[in-house]
Structure 1
């Protein structure tokens, strides 16, 4: 017969094992709050991020990191400010996957901050940020109209694909076809 100490060790190991298994599926309890990414997510990073938000200290640390990233963007004096914005958005997607409002705000700030810089008008990174922003607004068609009117993305195929996709989801197939034709006339497809 096993003694009580052996049994308590087994129970402790079973509890640890169950906790690890539950931690592996942390995202299952929060997936409706996580913004899906077209490129997918690393499940272990996602689980870590979701577990981390349970702790007050972790929230404070994340707030400090957000402030540091925003301060770095404001103080940036290099030749590619877009790189910091792109890195910040990716960081948000990993560290704060359920915070749609924060991502929306950062995308809006970035797209507005660089909209008058012609250097970025046909930069694929910038167009991707605009498309991510359009994915979060209620009427993405207006975003694409704005971009087209301001010649942002006019030489980037992803711009036309995104615009046509939005029109197709609205069942506006004739207009989507026109966008594809416009893209082929620009030789971007």
Structure 2
């Protein structure tokens, strides 16, 4: 049982209780800011995935259609080499 109590002490939040409680508007504002930050990070991640996918499909298409003397030319033009 003592181990369980020690584990709880490591996991609980570091917040002092207030006699009058917490301000609902302050809590709401803090949560909204956190959600906006998460939303922005998610959008940036989606854009990055979209750009990577577009680059991959462009590269793959050029690689299939390439008919030249230098087989690494497509790799260099797409920025994957050199």
With structure 1 as the length reference, what TM-score do the two structures score? 0.20
Bigger fraction of residues in helix: 1
Name the TM-score, length of structure 2 as normaliser: 0.39
Q: Give the number of the structure whose alpha-carbon radius of gyration is greater.
A: 2
